């Protein structure tokens, strides 16, 4: 077997040949830091290093550490939705706005993901809340009738389900191989892959020039051109959170840095919309959850940069999956060891 060498200087630009996680040249078009907001990973955010600037994206995931059927992350454009305000909002302390633009489902062992994205996701979630509110009211009135009590009008008017006007599209992201690091997805007829990077061990001892450590991530297109990179903080779990001094994010723990590069072959929002609206049928024979496909609105509008939002959301999913799989594998080994003891 041929040996693998890595004589690349520490500051040489990233290329597919040297597999160095250093950022390529030219400099990135934008850089965002990924932070963990709450314990157990219930909230994350992509933001600049300056804590006074609002976050670009925010992820809320109420139950991240349990089974796949309880994993329901929602991806927001804007900062923490808990404090989002504006002139028409009752909470107008903070002037920024925050709206959900994506959500996801996953399978067990984090091998496949279904992603719904677009401005219409906000309207879909609002309709879901309207239906839930009406059902709760009707259930309470049924209990009152059972005890022969008169009906009580709702405290707030019950709204009807509204038609979705914004964009709602779906796509899948899959892991290549069993528990491999490569995760691929498609957008606008082009395929992209999140892959691991590797720094090789130096020396001539056991595993020298062959064995390495794979920590960081890179996003490549079909021509192996680097679209984005994510540089992990390898000691994030052992560091204390940074205190910002107040809401909307009083504390945040740095996890890594996402970089997007100029000149990469990523499509504009208009090109992506044109691609998904043209035949064949956009699902291409893929099977999706019914709740993700019943509200499809490919003719809807989208106000954000779709490619940038997809890159940020898929990056968070891949980082979260690797973090959770480490604990899942340790749990499986522990359970197997306990079975052998018995």
Please list the pLDDT of the chain residue by residue as tens digits (342 residues). 444 444 444 444 444 444 444 444 568 888 999 999 887 889 999 999 998 888 999 999 998 878 888 999 999 999 999 888 754 445 555 678 899 999 999 998 889 999 999 999 999 999 999 999 999 999 999 999 999 898 899 988 999 999 999 999 999 999 998 778 899 999 888 899 999 886 555 555 555 554 555 679 999 988 888 999 999 988 887 888 888 888 888 899 999 999 998 765 667 888 888 888 876 655 666 788 888 999 999 999 999 899 999 999 999 999 999 888 877 777 678 778 877 876
Indicate whether 177 belongs to any domain: yes
Assess contact for 283 and 169: CB atoms under 8 A.
no
Where helices occur in 98-227 by DSSP H, the ranges are: 120-146
pLDDT in tens, 300-309: 999 989 999 9
d(CA 44, CA 37): 5
d(CA 81, CA 221): 33
Q: What angle do CA 170, 175, 179 make, to 5 degrees?
A: 145
User: How many domains would you assign to the chain?
Assistant: 1
Indicate whether 129 belongs to any domain: no
d(CA 105, CA 121): 14
Indicate whether 290 belongs to any domain: yes
Does residue 41 have a cis peptide bond before it, meaning omega lies within 30 degrees of 0?
Answer: no
Indicate whether 157 belongs to any domain: no
Indicate whether 18 belongs to any domain: no
Q: For residue 257, what are the domain limits?
A: 28-119+166-334
Indicate whether 285 belongs to any domain: yes
| pLDDT at residue 108, rounded to an integer | 84
d(CA 189, CA 124): 25
Task: Supply φ then ψ for residue 199, to 5 degrees.
Answer: -110, 125
Indicate whether 79 belongs to any domain: yes
Quick one: DSSP state of residue 267?
-
Indicate whether 286 belongs to any domain: yes
Determine the 3-state secondary structure of 4 from DSSP: coil
Query: Which residues neighbour 41 within 8 Å (Cβ) at sequence distance 6 or greater?
Result: 61, 64, 65, 320, 323
Q: What is the pTM of this model?
A: 0.82
Q: Is 32 exposed, middle or buried, given 0-12, 13-18 or 19+ CB atoms closer than 10 A?
A: buried
CA-nearest of 14, 1, 51, 61 to 319 is: 61
CA-nearest of 292, 241, 301, 248 to 41 is: 241
d(CA 310, CA 118): 10
d(CA 214, CA 302): 36
- β partners of residue 256: 34, 232
């Amino acid at each position: 077997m041929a040996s693998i060498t890595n004589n690349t200087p520490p500051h040489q630009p990233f290329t597919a040949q040297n597999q160095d996680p250093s950022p390529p040249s030219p400099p990135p078009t934008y850089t965002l830091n990924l932070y963990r907001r709450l314990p157990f990973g219930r909230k994350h955010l992509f933001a600049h290093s300056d804590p006074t600037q609002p976050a670009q994206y925010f992820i809320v995931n109420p139950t991240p550490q349990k089974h796949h059927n309880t994993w329901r992350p929602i991806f927001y454009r804007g900062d923490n939705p808990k404090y989002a305000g504006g002139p028409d909002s009752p909470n107008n302390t903070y002037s920024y706005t925050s709206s959900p633009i994506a959500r996801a489902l996953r399978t067990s062992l984090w091998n496949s993901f279904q992603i719904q994205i677009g401005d219409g996701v906000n309207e879909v979630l609002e309709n879901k809340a309207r239906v839930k509110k009406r059902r709760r009211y009707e259930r309470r009135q049924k209990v009152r009738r059972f005890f022969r009590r008169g009906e009580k009008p709702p405290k707030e008017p019950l709204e009807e389900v509204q038609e979705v006007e914004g964009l709602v599209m779906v796509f899948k992201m899959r892991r290549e191989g069993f528990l491999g690091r490569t995760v691929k997805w498609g957008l606008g007829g082009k395929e992209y892959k999140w892959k691991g990077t590797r720094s090789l061990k130096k020396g001539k001892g056991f595993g020298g020039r062959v064995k390495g450590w794979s920590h960081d991530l890179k996003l490549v297109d079909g021509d192996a051109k680097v679209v984005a990179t994510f540089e992990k903080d390898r000691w994030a779990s052992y560091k204390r959170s940074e205190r910002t001094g107040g809401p909307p994010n009083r504390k945040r723990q740095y996890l890594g840095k996402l970089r997007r590069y100029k000149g990469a072959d990523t499509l504009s929002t208009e090109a992506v919309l044109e691609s998904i609206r043209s035949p064949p049928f956009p699902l291409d024979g893929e099977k999706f959850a019914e709740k993700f496909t019943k509200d499809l609105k490919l003719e809807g509008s989208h106000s954000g940069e779709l490619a940038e939002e997809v890159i940020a959301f898929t990056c968070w999913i891949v980082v979260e999956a690797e973090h959770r799989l480490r604990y899942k594998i340790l749990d499986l080994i522990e359970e197997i060891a306990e079975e052998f003891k018995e």
